[in-house]
Amino acid sequence: MDENEEPSLETRRIEGPDALNSVDEATWVSTNDSAQWGLAAIRASALVPEAISAY
């Protein structure tokens, strides 16, 4: 991807026999990516009290 190019945030519709209920799926994100971001947020929030007390 060119540095000036915007990332594609497209989704695709999953319906019919492939899904119980129709959903829009973001193919560019995975459950592992989401879990890693969540864990990073939890870890960062655990460091906040220590950082505040340093000031």
What is the C-alpha separation between 5 and 39, in angstroms, rounded?
A: 29
The number of residues making up the chain comes to: 55
What's the confidence (pLDDT) of residue 1?
Answer: 58
pLDDT at 49: 84
Residue 13 to residue 27: CA distance in whole angstroms = 10
Q: Is residue 5 part of a domain?
A: no
As for how many domains the chain has, the answer is 1
* Residues of the chain falling short of pLDDT 50: none
Domain that holds residue 42: 30-55
How is residue 22 written in tokens? 């129709």
Alpha carbons 16 and 13: distance in angstroms, whole number: 10
- Would residue 49 count as lying in a domain? yes
Paired with 13 in beta bridges are: 24
d(CA 12, CA 30): 14
